[in-house]
Structure 1
Amino acid sequence: MQAFTIQFQGSAAQLADIDLPEPGTGQVRIAIKACGLNFADLLMQKGTYQDTPEAPFTLGMEVAGVVDKLGNGVTRLNVGDRVAVYSGQGGLAEYGVFYASRAIPLPDAISFENAAAIQIAYGTSHIALDHRAHLRSGETLLVTGAAGGVGLTAVEIGKLMGATVIAHARGQEKLDVARAAGADHLIDASEDLRARVKELGGADVVYDAVGGDVFKAAFRATNPEGRLLPIGFAGGDVPQIPANHLLVKNLTVIGFYIGGYLKFRPQIVQDSFDTLFGWLAEGRIKPHISHVLPLAEADEGMQLLRDRVATGKVVITP
């Protein structure tokens, strides 16, 4: 089969022919129909992601497809079942082997593309805002990088949870995407973020996917007793947080990494996915997919993320 693999640590990912994998005990083989791309895939290529596997490995963290073969001991799934899996790796291939315990049955009403686009981005925003930051209806949520893969879902979920949402992004096209997702106020990256947020009454919760100077400005525009979620560092710089300012305004900076919950509290992720797939089936959330590409163009899909051309999700369809 074909797979987009990293053969040696530090080498560039490339499309290669590899052996068809066989499922082990508790695993299933899936004929992959769609795989969502994530910024973490770029970090894995550089070896800088916190959960980068040992080479060789296949990129692709979230998949949807059809169960093709069962390993020993698997009883809750059948060959032919439509499923989604937060796999962590192995998704950019024609087939993949994953633990059955991570597979979520998909109703026919949910497309493979949407199922592959929803897990990491929506799961990150939902758990971060609900379980970690305890966002409340009527509060003001500031989302930076608001047209990106996770930022856009934070806008949508924040609005669904009853918050007033301020979206920060670069350029009118991306701001229009954030507005369509429910943003109440828009701030272009060329504007003074701190001043504009202050004009709007400050932020109670900050969901920052950019880092660097953007985080610093958002930090200074946070209201007393506000909560800040440093979700990612797409801007390249990891911000240093002045602890004395935390004391003065009684602020809370909240660490969050969805992959960590799979190791020590996997039920949190499962419960979130149950909620999200329910919302998706009801039409309460609508994944924004800017590009759908074949497996042969996986590298082009990665370049869309590098160049920050994509809005929402890029999905690969093997």
Structure 2
Amino acid sequence: MQAFQLTDYVGPDGLALVDIEAPRSAQGEIILQVRAVGINYPDLLMTKGQYQRKPELPVVPGCEVAGTVISAPIGSGWKQGDRAAAFIWQGGFAEQVAVPVNSIVRVPDSISFESAAAMVVNYHTVHFALSRRGLVQADENVLVMGAAGGIGTAAVQVARGFGARVIAGVADVGQAETAKAAGAQEVLILQPGFAQTLREMTDGRGVDVVLDPLGDWLFDEAIRGLAPEGRLLVTGFAAGRIPEVKVNRLLLRNVSVLGVAFGALLEMEHKLMREQANSLDRMVGDGVVNPHIGARFGFNELPMALGCLNRGEIKGKAVVVLESVGTDA
């Protein structure tokens, strides 16, 4: 089978399309025929050697796929031909991939493989962040920073699904249109001093929850915009610097900073992904969740997709589509 193998930690240019042996299932694993691949910021970091996991080279990156089951363990509840989407730590940039049973969810016939591949990482991460870590309640004010990106557009929709009032934090007017299309009720340009504007938008109170995939100086400003008992959810550091916080600021203002690591907890709670999928399916049925796919690429263009992400050229989510794939090893 064909796969993109990372041979050097130099970014997307370190990927090479090669023929490798197809995966063979170990105990508790399902083999998927990949039909679509989601492109994510952690994938980009892995190609640069900057991700939390830095495997020995060569390695096939890729953490988000959708496709059909080739084989499954007896008693797993899965069979050949079932439509599925999965999260894996690596191996997704390939025609076939082995995934743990606890990391795979069913894809209804009403959802395309492209949309399914766009939902696993971002939507499950923000669902976990907003529901489990942030305890978001209906009618609370939620600021989603980076709201025009893949995780941002997902967070806008999931927060709306929980009944929250969503303020989309974006870099410019062009990104504002993407955030509004995702479902944001209001838009805030993230410029120095935006905490004051945020308070003006919330009758002086501030927001109850901030979902922050950016970090850097934006984190510090967002803390200033929290309401009493507000929660800031740390989901990444796409803007660059990993910020620090003086805990006396948290104590004096009764606010919290919470870490969000969906993949890490998934390894301990095997039912987590399935339970969240049920909730997300309801939001899809209600018309609230609909992945914003901003760019589509062919399999041969996968490094190009990562390059576009690296340059900030993707609005919403980028997806790689495998038009024609075989099942031979």
TM-score range, shorter chain: over 0.9
Contact 2:76 2:101 in 1 (8 A): no
Task: Spell out, residue by residue over 1:272-318, the C-alpha distance to the aligned partner (whole angstroms, 9 max, x if none).
Answer: 12221343245331000011111100011001111111111111112
Matches within 5 A, 1:104-143: 104-143=105-144
Pair 264,179 (structure 1): closer, same or farther in 2 beyond 3 Å: same
Q: CA deviation at 1:88?
A: 2.2
Instruction: For 2:269 and 2:224, locate their aligned partners in 1 and report how far apart those are by CA, in whole Å.
Output: 33
Q: TM (normalized to structure 1)? A: 0.94
Aligned residues between the structures: 317
Aligned to 1:279: 283
Question: Aligned letter for 2:2?
Answer: Q
RMSD in angstroms over aligned alpha carbons? 1.8
Among 28, 31, 36, the alignment partner of 1:29 is 31
Contact 1:145 1:151 in 2 (8 A): yes
Q: Name whichever of 56-65 and 184-193 sits farther off.
A: 184-193
Instruction: For 2:175 and 2:95, locate their aligned partners in 1 and report how far apart those are by CA, in whole Å.
Output: 32
Q: Secondary structure at the match of 1:150?
A: helix
Instruction: For 1:51 and 1:277, locate their aligned partners in 2 and report how far apart those are by CA, in whole Å.
Output: 30
Matches within 5 A, 1:122-271: 122-190=123-191, 192-201=193-202, 202-271=206-275
Aligned to 1:40: 42
Q: CA deviation at 1:139?
A: 1.4
Q: Secondary structure at the match of 1:65?
A: strand
Question: Aligned letter for 1:55?
Answer: L
Contact 2:102 2:271 in 1 (8 A): no
Instruction: For 2:232 and 2:102, locate their aligned partners in 1 and report how far apart those are by CA, in whole Å.
Output: 32
- 5+ residue gaps, structure 1, are none
Alignment pair present for 1:302 and 2:306: yes
Q: Secondary structure at the match of 2:210?
A: strand
Aligned to 1:88: 89
Question: Aligned letter for 2:156?
Answer: V
Instruction: For 2:101 and 2:235, locate their aligned partners in 1 and report how far apart those are by CA, in whole Å.
Output: 28
Instruction: For 2:259 and 2:321, locate their aligned partners in 1 and report how far apart those are by CA, in whole Å.
Output: 33
Q: Secondary structure at the match of 1:120?
A: helix
Contact 2:103 2:273 in 1 (8 A): no
Instruction: For 1:220 and 1:111, locate their aligned partners in 2 and report how far apart those are by CA, in whole Å.
Output: 41
Contact 1:261 1:269 in 2 (8 A): no
Instruction: For 2:123 and 2:19, locate their aligned partners in 1 and report how far apart those are by CA, in whole Å.
Output: 32
Q: Percent identity?
A: 36
Q: CA deviation at 1:193?
A: 1.1
Question: Aligned letter for 1:247?
Answer: L
Task: Spell out, residue by residue over 1:253-280, the C-alpha distance to the aligned partner (whole angstroms, 9 max, x if none).
Answer: 1111111111222322331122213432
Q: Name whichever of 259-268 and 306-315 sits farther off.
A: 259-268
Instruction: For 1:139 and 1:279, locate their aligned partners in 2 and report how far apart those are by CA, in whole Å.
Output: 18
Contact 1:25 1:74 in 2 (8 A): no
Q: Secondary structure at the match of 1:241?
A: coil
Contact 2:233 2:258 in 1 (8 A): yes
Task: Spell out, residue by residue over 1:211-260, the C-alpha distance to the aligned partner (whole angstroms, 9 max, x if none).
Answer: 11111111111111111111111110111111111111011111111111
Q: Secondary structure at the match of 2:208?
A: strand
Aligned to 1:288: 292
Aligned to 1:65: 67
Contact 2:87 2:99 in 1 (8 A): no
Q: Secondary structure at the match of 1:63?
A: strand
- 5+ residue gaps, structure 2, are 323-329
Question: Aligned letter for 1:292?
Answer: R
Q: Secondary structure at the match of 1:128?
A: helix
Instruction: For 1:143 and 1:263, locate their aligned partners in 2 and report how far apart those are by CA, in whole Å.
Output: 27
Pair 55,163 (structure 1): closer, same or farther in 2 beyond 3 Å: same
Q: TM (normalized to structure 2)? A: 0.91
Q: Secondary structure at the match of 2:121?
A: helix
Pair 315,158 (structure 1): closer, same or farther in 2 beyond 3 Å: same
